[in-house]
Amino acid sequence: MAAFKTLSAKSAASLDIELMSTGAGAFTLDQLMELAGLSVSQAVYRIHPPAKGPKILVACGPGNNAGGDGLVAARHLWHYGYQPTVYYPKQGRNEFYQRLTTQLKNLDIPFTQDFPTALRDSHHVIDAIFGNPTPPPSTLGRSETRRAGETFCRFFLMRSAGFSFSGEIREPFPAIIAALATSPVPVTSVDVPSAWDVETGPPPKGPAKEFQPTALVSLTAPKPCVRWLQGRHFLGGRFVGKHIADKYGLEVPQYEGIDQVVELYSDAGKL
């Protein structure tokens, strides 16, 4: 299989709008997040089945950077027989995120504020801290419906809460990313490894300079930063229809059975 086409940050943002537009994808934000979290959970099951160690630490960032995907993944992992623990230091005040956390608490899934101890006690980590930051709607030049624009504005505001790749990473996340970069515990990142640039990969300095996750789950389509990935690469996007795929030039892989993820390879090996 040839290398898959990547999708720029600007195109990914435009695609997000289209997926949530009533005249196109017609998905809601919570539907997309549920599908993303399910994809992540299935990738973890492939990479690290419960027999290899059931304790999964799910590190969730603020807003919708990737934190919501991590919360959904934690719920699914619990039902698969894992023992997830959630690190979520900047919990969203939006009712949507409160519902996700309540779902986990109803399953007695523990939340921790002690990341170093939880990391040492874990068999695998999900990096759902930042993921792929999306540019403001004003940069997109879109002509989508007003309703889709309003939906995306809420989506963007939640995604941007507490963090911007144009500035410094805010506490407590520098130490968390540094710990992930040096820990022997395997890490699966969601969409974009935390604090990587979506276009140019690892930053030239800072805690993410040496961060290389064990695996990455790209959502909808791979982003340009996958060129720097040394680990395994999965794609979760089994909801993209032919019309949208053709418009954005997306390559939809062959998913097996009821799988929501597929592992991607290039002609030379893994992407």
**DSSP states of 212-252:** --SEEEEESS--GGGGG--SEEEEE-TT--HHHHHHHT---
- Per-residue confidence (pLDDT) for residue 85, from 0 to 100: 98
Residue type present at position 34: E
What predicted TM-score, i.e. pTM, was given to this entire model? 0.86
For 119, the token pair is 């990391």
* 141 Cβ neighbours under 8 A, 6+ residues apart: none
Helix (H) or strand (E) holding 154, with range, is: helix 146-160
> 228 pLDDT exceeds 70?
yes
- The string of DSSP codes covering 107-120 is TT--EES-HHHHHH
Burial 192-205 (b: 16+ CB within 10 A, else e): bbbbbbbeebbeee
Peptide bond connecting 172 to the previous residue in cis, omega within 30 degrees of 0: yes
Confirm if 19 and 25 have CB atoms less than 8 A apart: yes
Q: Of 90, 97, 89, 92, whose CA–CA distance to 116 is shortest?
A: 89
Chain segment 32-73, per-residue pLDDT in tens: 999 999 999 999 999 999 999 999 999 999 865 679 999 999
- Per-residue confidence (pLDDT) for residue 143, from 0 to 100: 43
Maximum pairwise Cα distance, the chain: 50
CA 83, CA 123: separation in Å to the nearest integer? 10
> 146 pLDDT exceeds 90?
no
> 203 pLDDT exceeds 70?
yes
Categorize the per-residue pLDDT at 218 as very low, low, confident or very high, splitting at 50, 70 and 90.
Answer: very high
Q: Is the dihedral of CA 35, 37, 41, 43 positive or negative?
A: positive
CA 164, CA 231: separation in Å to the nearest integer? 25
For 250, the token pair is 């997306």
Categorize the per-residue pLDDT at 191 as very low, low, confident or very high, splitting at 50, 70 and 90.
Answer: very high
